[in-house]
Structure 1
């Protein structure tokens, strides 16, 4: 059975590679037709997407539109309006020494691309990278997550009805299929998921020297400076709650993982957070509203084990209720849990918010730097010098001041990690660049050939080459002219 599956995958990959070699994906007309098709797919099947995400994750339709459908539509519209400009060669500046000549940088598609899709945003994180690969002119295999089966089935059954099935394929399956896919030779692998699996993907890709983009996770901190205005505290509490519990119940790579705050301000913010949780999700832990469920029993048990650890349970100051039947966990706040516990060393990926108090908020920089580089840092502060200090003294995939999560939907900003939170970037033009190779092209004329570049060597040619690397074209011309005049008026020449 495994051998048969391997043969089927091999045939699919061979067909996609042949399609790429035919050249039809390189034209702007093909790229635009596929982008329009994705827009139409999302428009035609909005209700089906709502239903699939409700089945897999219990997401509310508003959350689905905000985080998935709206993201896809915005990205597709932007790509449609910009793809011709992105495809156009860019002029390259050449040294005057090369005159007459011209240089350009020509974007070309990489070839055959494999996209691994995570389960937490199974529509947006399938179609958004796919649009980048299509915009760049590649053929693509999309591998949805088996942990979001309704969305995986939707993509497998619907994408072939809208897109070029000889250029884009959806291949479903579990870890065995993923492993078989990694045995194939690809021109690019784009992976979104855990650091553990990212290491496996990178190891397999290295066998073929395949370039990879790894969009991983990490523990994204929030730095909360002391605020005095109650209206500002209220806004901060809403944005923090939205960034922690709003995206898929905290099951997001850029969700807030822990909060750093000065001891003197902690109690004030905790009270505002409690009120915000009540307003957003209701007060009855058995009937939570607007909160996605935990993806499966395994992840639910992992989070339960964290909360049932005696040292962690003692730090819970709000929430902590679990509903095993519905796989939901009440938004939970923990105050100063042990720093060596799993909740502070591993990515939480759930609705638990540890709050760590500091004597001085400036200590937050050292705290963050003592841990792996995060995918995102969020900082609420009105202190411009502190903002500069955060930017200068920390490293992360992104920094957002006085808000959370919104950097993800900005096509004009690159999205990606650094260090253990991943590498590579995408969104907007950055997606196009991720799936393209920028080929350097230099055009020269047969007119004007500089003899000092060729043997036989002499002192003059050494001097000329030194000047060529140090001075501008005019000086070189004068040097050459002087050399020619010297030869013309030399006694031997005149004789």
Structure 2
């Protein structure tokens, strides 16, 4: 990089990166105590500023439910740190690997090593949790971390930068600014691993930039995650759980149900039940403190466009009792909306919704529903509701998605012993718990030869000994 042509933020980013790389090469493997100390300091970053983080995130959103910030962000980060702290000693230990008979009495081991410097490009929708959860895995694995927060949450980003700077040396972990030029340059740095959470469109650009350096990437993207209501489902139960999954964070959740497939004869009844549950949970007052605002005017206008397009193409729009109340827009709260009778040509079925708008479509039979899902990109999540185990297992075996929750929404994400990741257009790679530790480690295979091993028989001159050894190896293979 030609320093004469770069700004101060870019020079600062490059200098910080190079300094961190240098330290990662001279001090490549922090011990258990050092890693546990870093995890404890990361917890302190959150614990010491918990209320300020809540307020900053709410300020960035225009209004963010304090309860949702606590349960969907703070507590999940604490859970990640607690789990890593408890299991880190076991994760760091060399792993025994079986040795083929012909090489005995030698030994094989897998030794986890830090990759080096990990870059994290964080999203705006869950800025605390989706920033620090991958950082937990990276730190546990012994890496150094640079975080680029989203420019859409400036209050949070400034607070995180300050809080991390107070607890961590810049050679361990740091948070960059959110300047546009920094965002564009970040993915071009030769990180040892890069994590990006965001849209599929931007994910492709990040992967392309990282690919020039052969930087491995973990992409947590999104897409249109379906909910399938089987004919055996309890509609009241399914409606309540879909309503919650859709309206958490006002639908600004990458694994929120993006559309619902319902048996044709139950479409209207199910939609009415979901609307009733949405009204019960959040009422019809835009000032409801439990209901989160849309992140920006641009995103609000996008949602308005999706609904208007669907209505113009014949869909039935179901909203709260007073959807035209100007206070919805004044508070930047988008009214919970169902698009009944959505069709494939509508924009709401071609784009990821990422808001409190839920298309409801009918299907003829199970095969029809499965085919509908499989005609689209692999979703980040899939939800199935019903009591018919054979029907459930058929859907699970014939569809591919990043993860599944059966008879509810979202909760597969909270299972810390399970990996979280996408597939195809919804992402690549995974983290959470030990999966994060492994993602950010190099599991180095090491072969320990025994002095009693006959491997020297492979060396020339070959003669008759190689024939005997070949015969033995063929017999053992």
Q: Same fold (TM over 0.5)?
A: yes
Cα distance 1:466–1:175, how it changes in 2: closer, same or farther (>3 A)?
farther
* Other-structure match for 1:434: 439
Would you say 1:175 and 2:152 are equivalent positions? no
Of stretches 378-387 and 159-168 in structure 1, the one that deviates more from structure 2 is 159-168
Q: For 1:77 and 1:359, locate their aligned partners in 2 and report how far apart those are by CA, in whole Å.
A: 47
Give 1:449's match in structure 2, choosing from 454, 463, 466.
454
Would you say 1:5 and 2:6 are equivalent positions? no
1:83-102 correspondence runs (5 A): 83-102=88-107
* Other-structure match for 1:281: 282
SS at match of 1:173: coil
What's the CA shift string for 1:213-265, capped at 9, x where partnerless?
A: 0000010000001247xxx433322211111111x111111001000000122
Shift of 1:172: 1.4
TM-score by length of 2: 0.93
* Other-structure match for 1:250: 251
SS at match of 1:328: coil
Cα distance 1:7–1:318, how it changes in 2: closer, same or farther (>3 A)?
closer
1:369-380 correspondence runs (5 A): 369-380=374-385
* Other-structure match for 2:139: 134
SS at match of 1:183: coil
Cα distance 1:459–1:265, how it changes in 2: closer, same or farther (>3 A)?
farther
| Structure 2 alignment gaps of length 5 or more | none
Shift of 1:78: 0.5
Give 1:190's match in structure 2, choosing from 195, 212, 216.
195
Kept in 2: contact 1:182–1:201 (CA 8 A): yes
Q: For 1:469 and 1:172, locate their aligned partners in 2 and report how far apart those are by CA, in whole Å.
A: 60
Kept in 2: contact 1:233–1:269 (CA 8 A): yes
Cα distance 1:74–1:450, how it changes in 2: closer, same or farther (>3 A)?
closer
Would you say 1:233 and 2:208 are equivalent positions? no
What's the CA shift string for 1:73-109, capped at 9, x where partnerless?
A: 1111001111111111001110121122111000001
Q: For 1:398 and 1:60, locate their aligned partners in 2 and report how far apart those are by CA, in whole Å.
A: 26
Kept in 2: contact 1:306–1:312 (CA 8 A): no
What's the CA shift string for 1:435-461, capped at 9, x where partnerless?
A: 111000011123342454233445773
Q: For 1:123 and 1:368, locate their aligned partners in 2 and report how far apart those are by CA, in whole Å.
A: 32
Shift of 1:383: 0.9
* Other-structure match for 1:482: none
Q: For 1:28 and 1:312, locate their aligned partners in 2 and report how far apart those are by CA, in whole Å.
A: 60
SS at match of 2:47: helix
Kept in 1: contact 2:102–2:476 (CA 8 A): no
Would you say 1:351 and 2:356 are equivalent positions? yes
Shift of 1:325: 2.2
Kept in 1: contact 2:105–2:450 (CA 8 A): yes
Of stretches 174-183 and 117-126 in structure 1, the one that deviates more from structure 2 is 174-183
Q: For 1:227 and 1:386, locate their aligned partners in 2 and report how far apart those are by CA, in whole Å.
A: 9
Q: For 2:296 and 2:366, locate their aligned partners in 1 and report how far apart those are by CA, in whole Å.
A: 37
SS at match of 1:43: helix
Kept in 2: contact 1:453–1:465 (CA 8 A): no
Give structure 1 regions of 4+ aligned residues with deviation exceeding 6 angstroms: none
Would you say 1:26 and 2:27 are equivalent positions? no
Q: Max radius of gyration: which structure?
A: 1
Cα distance 1:251–1:313, how it changes in 2: closer, same or farther (>3 A)?
farther
Q: For 2:113 and 2:27, locate their aligned partners in 1 and report how far apart those are by CA, in whole Å.
A: 11
Shift of 1:462: 4.1
Give 2:365's match in structure 1, choosing from 348, 360, 376.
360
Would you say 1:38 and 2:42 are equivalent positions? yes
What's the CA shift string for 1:292-351, capped at 9, x where partnerless?
A: 111111111111111222435742133455733221110000111231221101101111
Kept in 1: contact 2:148–2:175 (CA 8 A): yes
Would you say 1:56 and 2:57 are equivalent positions? no
SS at match of 2:108: strand
Kept in 2: contact 1:251–1:350 (CA 8 A): yes
Equivalent residue pairs, number = 467
Q: For 2:307 and 2:183, locate their aligned partners in 1 and report how far apart those are by CA, in whole Å.
A: 32
* Other-structure match for 1:421: 426
* Other-structure match for 2:165: 160
* Other-structure match for 1:480: none
TM-score by length of 1: 0.90
* Other-structure match for 1:17: 21
* Other-structure match for 2:301: 301
Of stretches 101-110 and 39-48 in structure 1, the one that deviates more from structure 2 is 39-48
